[in-house]
Amino acid sequence: MSWYRNAVWFVKGLREYTRSGYESASKRFSAVDIDVDVAGKSFLVTGANSGIGKATAKEIAKRGGTVHMVCRNKERAEEAKEEIMTETGNQNIFLHILDMSNPKDIWKFAENFKNEHKLDVLINNAGCMVNQRELTEDGLEKNFATNTLGTYILTTALLPLLEKEADPRVITVSSGGMLVQKLSISDLQSENGTFDGTMVYAQNKRQQVVVTEQWAKAHRKIHFSVMHPGWADTPAVRSSMPDFYQKMKNALRTEAQGADTVVWLAVSPEATKLPSGLFFQDRQPVATHLPLARTYSPPEDEEKLMEMLEEFSQKFKSTSPGT
């Protein structure tokens, strides 16, 4: 089954996820959709120092929004912040240093953030594909800690802040790679069998889709979406998938093209006319399963995933917020 899924996915990718796929899809885009002034609105973008996150932050800054960049590396982040401020002339760009694989720090960050800022839109963009099984200082497998648990905790902690706003949105940057994976909750930390970083990443990205669907059901005041940026030429693709990069480098999207749907979901009034909880590609909702791929999971597994993430997250929650 896995060869079938991978083959169907790759053929689909060649047609849709490449630069030419973007150029063809963008013929139906309306420029008016994202011609929006978002001054006074506050956006938090994780992994905003690089690739799709930086391109997203820049587009929001151009439209007047306040941008909170959440990044793990101070030097790289300050450089990106300077670039965004200089290119857009927007001074309301703020930097927060946070490692998204550290659940305790995420809780602390969110508690402090809630006391000091407002938030209209949360963009969960930071992500990684670590190809060897590495553990964080808390003993968590690094891909799971960053992509699934980090995203879950940051969002959960910021929901009360988002709920205060009139048009709150949460956008999670997943990947079309998730289409090759069926949700699996039996080994969230990849402790068993051979470790395959690409498949662990794809499983995390499937988990992000499931979690978004569950959030949408549980929190009706907030508009949730999850998306695939296509295949874009970013540092992550170059370093984590060198073979894929060598084969595909002339066909990849630009970072801005990869960010286009994130920006559309974040600022366009058109995006929230669609139901909450959907998976997007090139500004439209798309299927979360490949035909005949048998990736549907029982609802009990989806609910169980939420319970397990909640359990993990509570384990790392400080009893004295803000410390």
Ligand X SMILES: NC(=O)c1ccc[n+]([C@@H]2O[C@H](COP(=O)([O-])OP(=O)(O)OC[C@H]3O[C@@H](n4cnc5c(N)ncnc54)[C@H](OP(=O)(O)O)[C@@H]3O)[C@@H](O)[C@H]2O)c1
Site membership for ligand X, residue 171 (CB under 6 A): no
Enter the tokens of residue 223. 């508009």
Give the nearest distance from C-beta 284 to ligand X in angstroms: 17
Q: Hey, which residues between 244 and 263 contact ligand X (CB under 6 A)?
A: 258
Give the nearest distance from C-beta 71 to ligand X in angstroms: 6
Site membership for ligand X, residue 53 (CB under 6 A): yes
Number of C-beta neighbours around residue 15 at 10 A: 11
What is the rounded distance in angstroms from the CA atom of residue 318 to the CA atom of residue 107?
7
Among residues 143, 156, 175, 203, which is the contact residue for ligand X, using CB under 6 A?
175
Q: Hey, which residues between 134 and 163 contact ligand X (CB under 6 A)?
A: 146
User: Given the complex with ligand X, which of 84 and 126 has the nearer CB atom?
Assistant: 126
- Tokens 């602390």 -> residue: 108
Q: Hey, which residues between 274 and 303 contact ligand X (CB under 6 A)?
A: none
Q: Which stretch binds ligand X (CB under 6 A): 68-76, 84-92, 182-190, 278-286?
A: 68-76
Give the nearest distance from C-beta 320 to ligand X in angstroms: 23
Site membership for ligand X, residue 100 (CB under 6 A): yes
Residue 64 backbone zone (phi > 0: left; psi -120 to 50: alpha; other: beta): left
User: Given the complex with ligand X, which of 235 and 269 has the nearer CB atom?
Assistant: 235
Q: Which residues pair with 122 in a beta bridge?
A: 44, 170
State residue 173 phi and psi, 5-degree precision. -85, 105
Among residues 18, 44, 45, 49, which is the contact residue for ligand X, using CB under 6 A?
49
User: What residues are annotated to the active site?
Assistant: 201
Give the nearest distance from C-beta 235 to ligand X in angstroms: 4
Edge-to-edge, what's the strand order for the sheet holding 42-46? Answer: 93-97, 66-71, 42-46, 121-124, 169-173, 223-228, 278-281, 284-285
Site membership for ligand X, residue 103 (CB under 6 A): no
Give the nearest distance from C-beta 298 to ligand X in angstroms: 26
Q: Hey, which residues between 203 and 232 contact ligand X (CB under 6 A)?
A: 228-229, 231-232
Element at 225 (helix H, strand E) = strand 223-228
* H-assigned helices in the chain: 2-16, 19-25, 51-62, 74-88, 103-116, 142-143, 151-162, 197-218, 235-240, 242-248, 255-267, 299-315
What is the rounded distance in angstroms from the CA atom of residue 43 to the CA atom of residue 61?
9
User: Given the complex with ligand X, which of 126 and 183 has the nearer CB atom?
Assistant: 126
Site membership for ligand X, residue 125 (CB under 6 A): yes
Among residues 2, 73, 115, 314, which is the contact residue for ligand X, using CB under 6 A?
73
3-state secondary structure of 248: helix
Please report, as ranges, the residues that interact with ligand X according to CB under 6 A: 47, 49-53, 71-73, 76, 99-101, 125-128, 146, 173, 175, 228-229, 231-232, 234-237, 258
